[in-house]
Amino acid sequence: MTDLPVLRLRPKSKPQAIRHGFPWVFADEAVLDRRSRAMAAGSFAVLEDAERKPLALVTVNPNSKIVARVMDADAEAVIDSAWLRARLERALQMRERLYDAPFYRLIHAEADGLPGLVIDRFGDTAVIQPNAAWADRMVDDLADALVQVTGVQNVILNGQGRARGLEGLDERMEVLRGDAPSAPIPVPMNGATYLADLMGGQKTGLFFDQRPNHAFAQRLARGAAVLDVFSHVGGFGLAALAAGAASATCVDGSAAALELARGGAGRMDAADRLETIQSDAFKAMEQMVAEGRRFDLIVCDPPAFAPSKPALEAGLRAYERVAKMAAPLVAPGGYLGLCSCSHAADLTAFRNVSARGIGRGGRRSVLIHTGQAGPDHPMLPQLAETGYLKALFFRLD
């Protein structure tokens, strides 16, 4: 029998949700007495129902609204180096089936059985984001297991972002194993080359989740004039150039991101077909409308306007505004792609405000494709938050 402490559900909580795969226990669902509140953030405990029957082995954080996360359905499990390696090996086997080159999200948190943990792989370098207290405490064990399982030489800890704040974790950036890259790393995707700044870029340096949506956009981009709004390092723009777009215009507020986009285009011998505009996206679209510019394909991939339920209403208004402002810039018979990475805005709500925004922009549309994150970002069916990315492609009259 385990000698771990016990965290118990309240009598009115529903233990069947945990038994059926839901991975979280919220603070108002658990008995939080002096003993349980004294548990160290990131420690392990046995989760029991109100009748004292074991449900799972969990990691506990009394400082978080998510007070417990399921680590293993076996309450007798031991979370050690061997356990970590087994989870990493399972995740790696799937990615190696899916991708020919080692550039992908290796660990997608709860969906890969490592709650709150994100690992992105860039060839022989991996970036760890420990967004849960247990992963932050065990990050050295994780780095060792990662090197043993994947053979990567360099492991970087990127401890930044909103999720860590919600867990009560400090921001930090460290090189855990090997060396920090001396320059942005070239990343091949869909025939394009992206440059990922692993030490200074957003999140882990590059967004792998849009890979299948880039591929769909490429079908529409051949010979087209393309506008990529909120482009970051040129996600949709460089994909379009790789597919034979006549031109691509990338708009972003970050000079550093646009410099990486230009570097990627240069490596693709497509620099002469790329235009970059450093500007607020809304102001840039307003200026383009005034100039009478038109594009055959426009894709807008903004940051999360609705990162939480309290921000949902304002976020949906922002998504509608994006659609309204982009619609007049689409040439007759052209295409408009609209994306949301806000887990608080579900697909139906996002689709509704997108269609309404297009209509308010004076255009009629039909929806031709709905996309989501790639398979290296698997969804846990019981946890809607893992299905955060939505991509809608419309044909405009």
Q: Read off the DSSP letter of residue 102.
A: S
DSSP 104-118: EEEEEGGGGT-TTEE
Give, in degrees to the nearest 5, the angle at Cα 317 between 313 and 321. Answer: 170
Edge to edge, what strands does the sheet with 125-130 contain?
A: 103-108, 117-122, 125-130, 154-159, 172-177
Q: Which residues face 117 on adjacent strands?
A: 130
Structure tokens at 379: 């969804």
Q: What are phi and psi of 316, to 5 degrees?
A: -65, -35
Nearby residues of 341 by Cβ (< 8 Å), 6 or more positions away: 209, 301, 303, 304, 388, 389
The Cα 184–Cα 113 span in angstroms is: 30
Q: Which residues face 68 on adjacent strands?
A: 25, 60
Annotated catalytic sites, by residue?
341
